[in-house]
């Protein structure tokens, strides 16, 4: 799509107007279609494009030529001319021939939902990794759509003494695009290795990842929980890179919180594939915070969309706490009580309430504490590496220098951390295995703990 901020006379930015188009098939919900078109209009607004009109057609089936009937396409062309729209956007995916046919009939540029999302990602990409990921996705999206988009389709002459016809220009462009994609994927692979090295250095910390539908308030929660100052806007897909911060530097083990790219209905598959390296932060998390905009009328569908993407990337089995966010935008006082009953272990908060943020932090701490294993370790006093790992990765409850050569340390830690310390373990006590094991630690004040 062309840039929405082209300069006009007088130095004022041009405002692009678009017609959004939906199709209602048998069995589809008119209300859901309306909400989907509202979301499409919000996506366009993120690009600085206003919605000049909306057209919906009821059909028994889609047509191969232009998705809709030709009469409805003519109606779109008339409406676009009346409101001065230069863009027509369909909520359903379009094939390259359908795009060409509709553009010829309307005289407007035509995009589908995936094309709009790709443009937003391109606009918001800041880091080298995000830019590389987006360019791969855009090239893969545009590759089959190059046909018909060129006016110089004459064949090139063969070079040297070769006779006959050379490649079509479109074939040259496609070949160059494939070569570019291959180079970008190699570059992304190198970036992913560097990110993997960074994650390896954090292997002893507990990791929590924020996931959820786009614009559910993940970044605002991230800022509130970690006192970070990341950019948070009431807009779609502001965050494309995984940002990692410590919830509280004083806790042992440390808990790292990462903010990841938001999900959306019909997220282009090429984007999911390209952003898998970024979503590795999700895959390596010990726990997910599924953030839900509880004030949105379709929050249930948004939850299903998020879960579908999590399942697709292989993160469906990671322990998850559902965080119903934006209570400050909710008028229904009963709904939070209903949700807490329906989703066990969930929590309802407003990211702008300090009291709610304190409750959410405790919710996170309690989750990990309940899953800790108690263990007694015996470590050589001169093994500074093991001792450093213990104090950085475990919650130490008691230390006993039994001899000058050995230290006996009682700790609470995750199973993964204790596996690394297995040579030093004297005995273990699984969490809440008996009332005796619980009473054994009553009254002891841990040297370093959550909270």
pLDDT digits (tens, 9 = 90+) for 317-346: 888 999 999 999 998 889 999 999 999 999
**pLDDT value at 201 more than 90:** no
Identify the band that residue 14 occupies on the pLDDT scale cut at 50, 70 and 90: low
pLDDT for position 276: 66
Residue 253, preceding bond cis, omega within 30 degrees?
Answer: yes
Contact between residue 109 and residue 103 where contact means Cβ atoms under 8 Å apart: yes
Distances in whole angstroms, Cα of residue 285 to Cα of each of 204, 291, 355, 431, 451: 12, 15, 26, 21, 20
Contact between residue 139 and residue 177 where contact means Cβ atoms under 8 Å apart: yes
Distances in whole angstroms, Cα of residue 334 to Cα of each of 56, 331, 342, 358: 35, 9, 13, 22
What's the CA angle centered on 139, arms 16 and 37, to 5 degrees?
Answer: 40
Identify the band that residue 254 occupies on the pLDDT scale cut at 50, 70 and 90: confident
| Of 206, 207, 254, 227, nearest in space to 448 by CA | 254
Rounded to an integer, the average pLDDT of 383-399 is 86
Q: Is the dihedral of CA 132, 136, 141, 145 positive or negative?
A: positive
pLDDT for position 84: 93
Parallel, antiparallel, or unpaired for β 425-429 and 287-293? Answer: unpaired
Distances in whole angstroms, Cα of residue 44 to Cα of each of 4, 16, 23, 49, 310: 10, 10, 18, 5, 26
Q: What is the C-alpha radius of gyration for the chain, rounded to an integer number of angstroms?
A: 28
Rounded to an integer, the average pLDDT of 415-428 is 86
Alpha-carbon gap, residue 123 to 113, rounded angstroms:
16
Identify the band that residue 13 occupies on the pLDDT scale cut at 50, 70 and 90: very low
**pLDDT value at 403 more than 80:** yes
**419 class by beta-carbon count within 10 Å (0-12 exposed, 13-18 middle, 19+ buried):** exposed
Rounded to an integer, the average pLDDT of 105-131 is 85
Mean pLDDT over each residue of the chain, to the nearest integer:
80
DSSP string for residues in 230-241 = ----SSTT---S
Q: Is the dihedral of CA 428, 430, 434, 439 positive or negative?
A: positive
Q: Which residue has the higher pLDDT, 228 or 404?
A: 404
pLDDT for position 355: 95
**pLDDT value at 370 more than 90:** no
Contact between residue 100 and residue 14 where contact means Cβ atoms under 8 Å apart: no
pLDDT for position 163: 42
pLDDT for position 203: 62
pLDDT for position 105: 94
Distances in whole angstroms, Cα of residue 317 to Cα of each of 21, 257, 311, 312, 325: 37, 19, 8, 11, 22
| Of 272, 288, 116, 130, nearest in space to 212 by CA | 288
**pLDDT value at 57 more than 90:** yes
**pLDDT value at 67 more than 60:** yes
Q: Which residue has the tokens 């299903």?
A: 304
Alpha-carbon gap, residue 425 to 129, rounded angstroms:
41
**pLDDT value at 231 more than 50:** yes
Helix pair 354-370, 218-226: axis angle to 10 deg = 80
pTM: 0.72
Rounded to an integer, the average pLDDT of 441-450 is 38
Q: Which residue has the tokens 């209570």?
A: 327
Alpha-carbon gap, residue 224 to 217, rounded angstroms:
11
pLDDT for position 444: 31
| Element spanning 283, H or E | helix 280-283
Alpha-carbon gap, residue 49 to 42, rounded angstroms:
9
| Element spanning 255, H or E | strand 255-259
Q: Which residue has the tokens 């046909």?
A: 147
Give how far the C-alpha of residue 264 lies from the chain's centroid of Cα atoms, to the nearest Å. 9
Count CB neighbours of 200 within 10 A: 9
Contact between residue 287 and residue 321 where contact means Cβ atoms under 8 Å apart: yes
Rounded to an integer, the average pLDDT of 7-12 is 45
Contacts of 348 (CB under 8 A, 6+ apart): 294, 323, 324, 327, 336, 339, 340
pLDDT digits (tens, 9 = 90+) for 141-199: 888 776 544 444 344 444 444 444 445 677 787 888 888 889 988 888 887 777 777 65
Upper half-sphere CA count for residue 384 (Cβ side, 13 Å) = 0
pLDDT for position 159: 44
Alpha-carbon gap, residue 385 to 383, rounded angstroms:
6
């Amino acid at each position: 799509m062309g840039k929405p901020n082209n300069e006009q006379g007088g130095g004022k930015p041009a405002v692009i107007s678009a017609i959004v188009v939906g199709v209602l098939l048998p069995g589809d919900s008119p209300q859901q279609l309306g909400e989907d078109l509202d979301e499409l209009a919000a996506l366009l607004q993120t690009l600085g494009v206003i919605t000049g009109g909306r057209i919906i057609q009821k059909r028994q089936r889609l047509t191969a030529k232009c998705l809709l009937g030709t009469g409805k396409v003519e109606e779109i062309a008339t409406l676009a001319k009346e409101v001065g729209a230069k863009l027509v956007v369909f909520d359903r995916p379009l094939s390259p021939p359908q795009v060409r046919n509709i553009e010829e009939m309307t005289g407007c540029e035509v995009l589908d939902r995936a094309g709009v999302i790709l443009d937003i990602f391109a606009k918001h990409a800041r880091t080298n990794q995000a830019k590389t990921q987006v360019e791969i996705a855009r090239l893969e999206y545009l590759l089959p759509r190059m046909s018909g988009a060129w006016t110089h389709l004459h064949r090139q002459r063969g070079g040297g003494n070769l006779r006959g016809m050379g490649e079509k220009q479109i074939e040259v462009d496609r070949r160059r695009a494939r070569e570019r994609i291959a180079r970008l994927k190699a570059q992304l692979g190198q970036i992913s290795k560097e990110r993997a090295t960074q994650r390896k250095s954090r292997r002893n910390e507990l990791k929590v990842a924020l996931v959820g539908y786009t614009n559910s308030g993940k970044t605002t929660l991230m800022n509130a929980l970690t006192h970070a100052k990341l950019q948070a806007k009431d807009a779609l897909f502001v965050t494309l890179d995984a940002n990692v911060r410590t919830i509280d530097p004083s806790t042992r083990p440390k808990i790292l919180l990462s903010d990841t790219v938001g999900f959306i209905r019909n997220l282009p598959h090429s984007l999911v594939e390209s952003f898998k390296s970024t979503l590795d932060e999700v895959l390596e998390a010990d726990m997910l915070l599924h953030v839900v905009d509880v004030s949105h009328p379709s929050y249930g569908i948004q939850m299903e969309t998020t879960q579908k993407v999590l399942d697709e990337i292989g993160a469906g089995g990671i322990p998850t706490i559902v965080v119903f966010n934006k209570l400050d935008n909710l008028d229904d006082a009963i709904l939070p009580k209903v949700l807490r009953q329906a989703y066990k272990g969930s929590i309802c908060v407003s990211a702008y309430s300090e009291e709610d943020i304190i409750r959410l932090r405790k919710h996170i701490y309690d989750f990990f504490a309940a899953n800790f294993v108690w263990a007694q370790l015996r470590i050589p006093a001169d093994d500074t590496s093991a001792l450093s790992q213990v104090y950085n990765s475990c919650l130490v409850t008691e230390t006993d220098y039994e001899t000058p050569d050995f230290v006996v340390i009682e700790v609470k830690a995750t199973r993964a951390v204790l596996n690394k310390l297995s040579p030093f373990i004297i005995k273990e006590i699984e969490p809440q295995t008996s009332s005796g094991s619980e009473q054994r630690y009553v009254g002891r004040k841990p040297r370093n703990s959550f909270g």
